[in-house]
Amino acid sequence: MMKEDFLHFLWKHRLFEPEKQTTSEGESVDIVNVGRHNIHAGPDFFDSRIKIGKTLWAGNVEIHLRASDWNRHGHQTDPLYGNTILHVVAENDAVVYNKAGASIPTIEIGWPLWIEYNYDALMKQHDWVNCASQINKIDPFRIRFFLNGMAIERLQQKIGNIETLLESSKGDWGETFYLFLSRSFGFRLNGDPFEMLARSLPLSILQKHKDQRFQLEALLFGQSGLCHEYLLLDEYPLALKTEYDFLAAKYRLKPIAGHLWKFMRMHPLNFPTIRLAQFAGLMHNCNSLFSTVIRMRNVNDYRSLFRAETSAYWDNHYTFLKTSRNQKKEMGEESFQLILVNVLVPFLFLYGDRNNKPELKEIALSMMEELPAENNTLIRHWAAAGIQAFNALESQALIQLHHEYCEPRRCLECTIGQKLITHGG
């Protein structure tokens, strides 16, 4: 079944026919400029230029499947539609008016049937993505060029999240980085409790104790609520709790609920206890975490910083009380790369942009090109379909493409989908 966004696509790319149109009142219509597509409230296209009869109009264009949809959507009483200069429809079944009572010139457009056939065929696919069986029809160079834009779009989304947090932190880059990094240390399953912990334990307090790893661990484990989830029969967690109780009274801290942390169906190296111990090691290894990050210039420097070892207790523990075989528990390469891609790169790019340091933006993008592509089910699906990601920049682009365009079936807004729909005729 045809949807209104198909008509938006036809109008935006001037695929309608004929080019020369006539209103329902018989006046000639010359579309000088279709306008800018509006995805927010209000008319569908802004700043259009339409010559109706002998008069050139500047204003907005509204598009519907049927002219009567104008009234059904309540536009006749909505001031946002007061400057609509043209109503574009597939079926002109009504005369419509704006809030001032003036009739809106209406045209009924057609389109090549083969475009509609291609559109229907694409939207009826039930593969993991609609175009999986047709991607090989697209010029690989065009796909690579398109992926560059997807990578930047994904980066901008992450930057947008940082900007929101930076604003709420009143421009404090160090605190913003601490909060954003904390969430990433929890990864997908423990991101929420890690961020809750960070919000309840200000960076300024941790920095006062950065020279004493044990005190850092006492603050982090105590504030996590995990110490209170165990029978404290072991010397180390008991000492942590004793130290934490003193520091919590000093700084008036209240721990978060320990039951929020997830351990089930997780590799032991990703247990929140290990991540907290690694985070303590990271804080212990540098004077000012954000300043240290901004000064670094290559992947290996960041790798050395973030792969700090945990304290000795964790060499033979994954959780409190229960011992395990002896193993150093530094952060793995895959986890490091996720933090670099999701935290370090967008922070460097935004800081460079805000502080007129273009070299930081270049470093951020070059590190993405240097890192190997992520190896997950989604990236393997794309490879099987013929699109191989050669580095992290391209795998991030493919993730963005899938999550933001393929899953919500926004094929009409995707370069690959557009090309497949307009191919042939």
- Flag whether pLDDT at 20 surpasses 80: no
- Contacts of residue 84, defined as CB under 8 A and 6 or more positions apart, other chains included, come to 43, 59, 60, 61, 62, 75, 98, 104
Query: To the nearest whole percent, how much of the chain has pLDDT over 90?
Result: 87
**Please, what is the angle between helix 140-168 and helix 392-401, to 10°?**
80
Q: What average pLDDT does this structure show over 167-192?
A: 95
> What is the reported pTM?
0.87
Return the amino acid letter for 205.
Answer: I
CA atoms within 13 A on the CB side of 331: 28
pLDDT of residue 1: 65
Pairing of strands 45-52, 106-108: unpaired
Mean pLDDT of the chain: 93
pLDDT category at 3 given cuts 50, 70, 90 is: confident
For the chain, percent helix, then strand, then coil, each to nearest 5? 55, 10, 35
Q: What average pLDDT does this structure show over 256-282?
A: 94
- Flag whether pLDDT at 424 surpasses 70: no
pLDDT of residue 232: 60
Query: To the nearest whole percent, how much of the chain has pLDDT over 70?
Result: 98
Return the amino acid letter for 127.
Answer: D
Phi then psi for residue 267, to 5 deg, are -65, 135
Q: How far apart are CA 200 and CA 202, in angstroms?
A: 6
Which of 373, 346, 293, 341 has its CA nearest to residue 187?
A: 341
Q: How far is CA 217 from the centre of its chain?
A: 32
- Flag whether pLDDT at 73 surpasses 60: yes
Concatenating the DSSP letter of every residue in 233-267 gives: -SHHHHHHHHHHHHHHHHHT--PPPGGG---TTS-
141-157 pLDDT per residue, tens: 999 999 999 999 999 99
Segment (H or E) for 171: none
312-337 pLDDT per residue, tens: 999 999 998 889 999 999 999 999 99
204-238 pLDDT per residue, tens: 999 999 999 999 999 999 999 998 655 567 889 88
pLDDT of residue 126: 86
CA atoms within 13 A on the CB side of 351: 20
Residue 102, token pair as written in the block: 């003036």
42-56 pLDDT per residue, tens: 999 999 999 999 999
Q: What average pLDDT does this structure show over 381-393?
A: 95
pLDDT of residue 308: 81
Q: How far apart are CA 71 and CA 77, in angstroms?
A: 9
Q: What average pLDDT does this structure show over 70-78?
A: 96
Which of 177, 128, 205, 192 has its CA nearest to residue 382?
A: 128
84-119 pLDDT per residue, tens: 999 999 999 999 999 999 999 999 999 999 999 999
Q: How far apart are CA 182 and CA 190, in angstroms?
A: 10
Q: How far apart are CA 70 and CA 63, in angstroms?
A: 9
- Contacts of residue 358, defined as CB under 8 A and 6 or more positions apart, other chains included, come to 352
Which of 87, 85, 60 has its CA nearest to residue 73?
A: 87
Between 21 and 403, the more confident residue is 403
- Flag whether pLDDT at 176 surpasses 70: yes
Say whether 87 sits in a helix, a strand or coil. strand
Q: How far apart are CA 29 and CA 106, in angstroms?
A: 10
- Contacts of residue 379, defined as CB under 8 A and 6 or more positions apart, other chains included, come to 373, 389, 395, 398, 399
